[in-house]
């Protein structure tokens, strides 16, 4: 993992605060009806990844060259996680009577939208840029400052916390599980950033557009 000495920790807290605010706007029941969710998400993710890039995170150097092993790992991780969530969805429906309604409210975000456009946005922009920002920038910096374990935990809590304004328990728990899996992977294998990017892109697309729960 490249040196993080030149990174300004204040930049991380500022960008995370911005992310918290913008995710709140996108998911809050008080503001979400007045915005185009997918247009907003697309723009926010691009801006945050650009922020990460200009603050010294040369993530592109970790992405290339792309190896077969990274493709295999990323694909396998995405499929494994989809399977885990499929089982979790079935189990949760027996434990939480509100589970189905909350899951359906998440999928309602694509109502009236072009599913192909949403899928392409998730795969080529939203999934990849989230990994660039949350793992390659935020978690990287926090691990450097507070240690690998504490940095991983803190980054995962922040990633989960930005979904709190949705007041959707299932979405928040999903973000927590995903944050733990992707964050733990990055904690031990930061050199496999492309695998994480591919995993996130595939999982988003599979779960939201191709094989929803």
The pLDDT tens digits for 38-96 are 999 999 999 999 999 998 678 888 887 889 999 999 999 999 999 999 999 999 999 99
User: Mean of the pLDDT values across residues 111-115?
Assistant: 90
Phi-psi region of 111 (alpha: psi -120 to 50; beta: other; left: phi over 0): beta
pLDDT value for 65: 81
SS3 60: helix
* Confidence tier at 3 by pLDDT (50, 70, 90): very low
Query: How far apart, in whole angstroms, are the C-alpha atoms of residue 162 and residue 182?
Result: 16
| Mean of the per-residue pLDDT values of the chain | 93
- Spell out the alpha helix ranges (H) of the chain: 9-27, 37-54, 60-63, 68-95, 99-107, 115-121, 127-133, 140-146, 148-161, 169-188, 193-205
- Rounded to whole angstroms, the Cα distance separating 204 from 136 reads 18
Residue 175 has pLDDT above 60, yes or no: yes
Position with higher pLDDT, 26 vs 9: 26
User: Are 61 and 144 spatial neighbours (Cβ–Cβ below 8 Å)?
Assistant: no
Percent of residues, the chain, with pLDDT higher than 70: 96
């Amino acid at each position: 993992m490249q040196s993080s000495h030149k990174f300004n920790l204040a930049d991380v807290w500022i960008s995370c605060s911005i992310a918290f605010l913008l995710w709140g706007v996108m998911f809050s029941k008080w503001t979400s009806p007045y915005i185009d969710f997918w247009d907003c998400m697309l723009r926010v993710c691009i801006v945050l990844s650009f922020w990460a890039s200009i603050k010294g995170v040369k993530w592109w150097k970790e992405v290339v060259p792309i190896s077969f092993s990274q493709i295999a790992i990323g694909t396998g991780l995405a499929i494994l996680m989809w399977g885990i969530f499929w089982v979790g969805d079935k189990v949760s429906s027996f434990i939480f009577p509100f589970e189905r309604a909350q899951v359906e409210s998440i999928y309602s975000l694509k109502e009236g939208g072009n599913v192909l456009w949403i899928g392409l946005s998730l795969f080529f922009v939203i999934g990849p840029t989230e990994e660039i920002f949350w793992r390659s920038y935020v978690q990287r910096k926090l691990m450097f400052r507070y240690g690998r374990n504490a940095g991983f935990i803190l980054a995962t809590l922040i990633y989960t916390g930005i979904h709190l304004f949705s007041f959707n328990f299932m979405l928040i728990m999903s973000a927590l599980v995903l944050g733990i899996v992707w964050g733990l992977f990055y904690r031990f294998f930061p050199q496999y950033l492309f695998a994480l990017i591919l995993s996130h892109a595939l999982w988003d697309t599979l779960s939201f557009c191709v094989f929803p729960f």
